[in-house]
Structure 1
Amino acid sequence: MSATLSRRGIEPRWLLLALLAALGAGAVLLLMGRVPICTCGTVKLWHGQVVSSENSQHLSDWYSPSHLIHGLLFYGALHLLLPRRSLGLRLLLATLAEAAWEIAENTDAVIGRYREATIALDYYGDSVVNSLSDIAFMWVGFWLASRLPVWASVLIAVGFEVLTTWLIRDGLALNVLMLVYPLDAVRQWQGGA
């Protein structure tokens, strides 16, 4: 393999390990009792209604951009922390982090926290297909960050945050804020007040 390909590309073994990590997360989620697909019986490419029992049940929704941002952030952090390690290893570590989040996010404790601290009263966790799709969105963000200049990655992240904040009054930053330090004023604003 040429120096350029080994430096910029990902060896197949790392891709396989990342895929196995994602599938392992899917298996854990099934063992936790998560539904494979939406209980509505369909799998939609896009579900755009946030306040809905079908939110986080399909392939993509308004929270998919936050998972793409995860990929941008994971790439940046791992590039800084492990600059001499292969891109493939960093992808695997990012996948393990995203998979761990998908599992944690679907525990009763975190689902309860979402319902208690945010306006997500109808949130009952993700379907397995949605969680796997979230991991895939993270992969897209990671890949973009590996190919784009830093300013472009920052622009994508800020653009998606502004877009989702404007359209659905939520996004990655607000989601983290409301899970860690819920504010009544933000909850009221998110609820349309």
Structure 2
Amino acid sequence: MFTRRSLPYWVTLLIILAAAGWLLSIGREPICKCGYVKLWHGQTMSSENSQHLTDWYTPSHIIHGLLFYAALWLVARRISFGWRLAIATLVEASWEVIENSDAIIQRYREVTISLDYYGDSVINSVSDILAMVLGFFLASRLPVWVSVALAVGFEILTTWLIRDGLTLNVLMLFWPLDAVRDWQAALVR
């Protein structure tokens, strides 16, 4: 059960549990305030967005896993898969904690069309971390070209369907453009 070889996987699990514990301790809702948990919630302009297990932002977390695998393969190839997964999980869990801080939530509300965004539920954050783990695992098994196609495909799909995705999310968080915000807002009018 607990061996030296399994240690990084236990560390990965502890990182996920620690992130969930931290999010609960800062007042994040455990589940949607609606009182139930759905496997999929497809409405982005809804108080239930980022409150259930999966949503239109889940693909961006899978992309995180693909990217983290590639980055860690480039710079830490000699470290075991398990420890690279633990590092990637630490980065993803850290982002979930930062993303759900009052400062970042307020930033999203100021510079994006997400005026009703009040942070993720804890179950959604844990699911996002697990989506990254899935992406990391897929990247370790798939040919590089398939991983690249998957990432590009997810970005095209979410940009087309919800006018958002990983690239636009990062852009609008760090360098908001009125033209992008207006284009995104046209979807909800």
- Band the TM-score falls in, shorter-chain normalisation: over 0.9
User: Shift in Å at residue 53 of structure 1?
Assistant: 0.5
Mapped partners of 1:192, 1:184: distance in 2: 12
Matched with 1:49 is 43
Matched with 2:63 is 69
Matched with 2:22 is 28
How many percent identity over aligned positions? 67
Matched, 1:96 2:90: yes
User: Shift in Å at residue 16 of structure 1?
Assistant: 1.3
- SS of the equivalent of 1:95 reads helix
Mapped partners of 1:86, 1:13: distance in 2: 11
Tell me the alpha carbon deviations over residues 136-185 of structure 1, each in whole angstroms, 9 at most, x when there is no partner: 00000000000011111000000000000000000000000000000000
TM-score computed with the length of structure 1 as normaliser = 0.94
Matched with 1:170 is 164
User: Shift in Å at residue 13 of structure 1?
Assistant: 1.9
Matched with 2:119 is 125
Mapped partners of 2:116, 2:164: distance in 1: 15
Matched with 2:101 is 107
Matched, 1:155 2:146: no
Matched with 1:5 is none
TM-score computed with the length of structure 2 as normaliser = 0.96
Mapped partners of 2:115, 2:75: distance in 1: 38
Moved over 2 A (4+): none
Mapped partners of 2:107, 2:170: distance in 1: 12
Matched, 1:144 2:142: no
- SS of the equivalent of 2:40 reads coil
Matched with 1:14 is 8
- The number of aligned residues is 184
Uncovered stretches (5+) of structure 2, i.e. residues with no partner: none
Mapped partners of 1:172, 1:70: distance in 2: 9
User: Shift in Å at residue 109 of structure 1?
Assistant: 0.3
Uncovered stretches (5+) of structure 1, i.e. residues with no partner: 1-10
Mapped partners of 1:160, 1:192: distance in 2: 21
What letter matches 2:82 in structure 1?
A: G
Mapped partners of 2:39, 2:9: distance in 1: 24
